[in-house]
Amino acid sequence: MEEDAAVSSSFTRHTCLKLDLPVEDPKAKDAVFVKATWFPSRFDLAISDGLDAWTCHGAHLCDPSLLFDPASEAEVRLRAEQWDLPVAEYIALAEHYLGFQQPGSKYGFEDAGNGQRRLSWTFEKQGTTLEWRWKCQPSPNNKQTTAGILDFLMDANIRLSEEVVRKTQSYQKLKSEAEKCLLQSERFSNEKVEFESVVYTKFVAILNSKKAKLRELRDRIAKTGTAGKASKEDDSTDGTESFDDGSDDEIVKAEPAEETVGDLPGSSEAAASSGLRARKRTRK
């Protein structure tokens, strides 16, 4: 039994809704508070307008002939079967509309006679507008029901206030850390700019030095190439002139020899040998 109670309490949820109602009667209240306790297979409602209070246990049907025991799970199961829904989905859908007021739904809290009220709302299903209704009985103790709703709201407000304080402290801590990170990021950015400036300055100096060295080497190579080409042309020109001069001398010297010697015996052989010696000297 204790284990069942622990499991049941672990699945129990509480909600409280301030339900704004359309006011047709000037004497009627324009808002009521609906506190709901959601169990795995049923739910309880406590409703108060600040003066009077109503309760609804197990979702009473509007038809008195179909009423079950107020705390019976059979009533919820019957309503779920009428809507072709599992019990869990039926309760989840009810919690959806009673946990928060849905803007597309039309809510009502009308007089049902004998001090009873009919709580209803509309919803869309497959293009059809449907209406859910529960009949709420007058509370046997209005003050106790209203005080229970106020106690729940006060406890919820305290929990929310504590949560706001924790969130605020966490936000301030994160903000402080973010500011520190921002300052550190700016410092890193400035150091990066300074480092790049120094590195680029050194790099430019080295690059200009290398360029100057390359220009010097290029000029030196150009001068060396020009001087070598000029010396080759001079050597080629000198060799040609000496050869030509030697040939002319040879021709000039050879002709008188032939004329002088005449028809003397061995004159032709002497001329030939002298010409050969002249060529050898020219070549040397």
Instruction: List, run by run, the mean pLDDT of 10-residue segments along the chain (284 residues).
Output: 45 89 67 91 90 76 38 74 86 90 90 89 85 89 93 93 95 94 93 90 88 88 78 58 47 43 46 52 48
CATH of domain 13-140: 2.170.210.10
Per-residue pLDDT, 3: 42
Q: What separation in angstroms does the CA of 220 have from each of 124, 178, 227?
A: 95, 62, 11
Per-residue pLDDT, 253: 45
Per-residue pLDDT, 68: 38
The CA radius of gyration of the chain, in Å to the nearest whole number, is: 59
Dihedral sign for Cα atoms in the order 136, 137, 138, 144: negative
Q: 53 forms bridges with which residues in the sheet?
A: 48
Per-residue pLDDT, 67: 37
pTM confidence score? 0.56
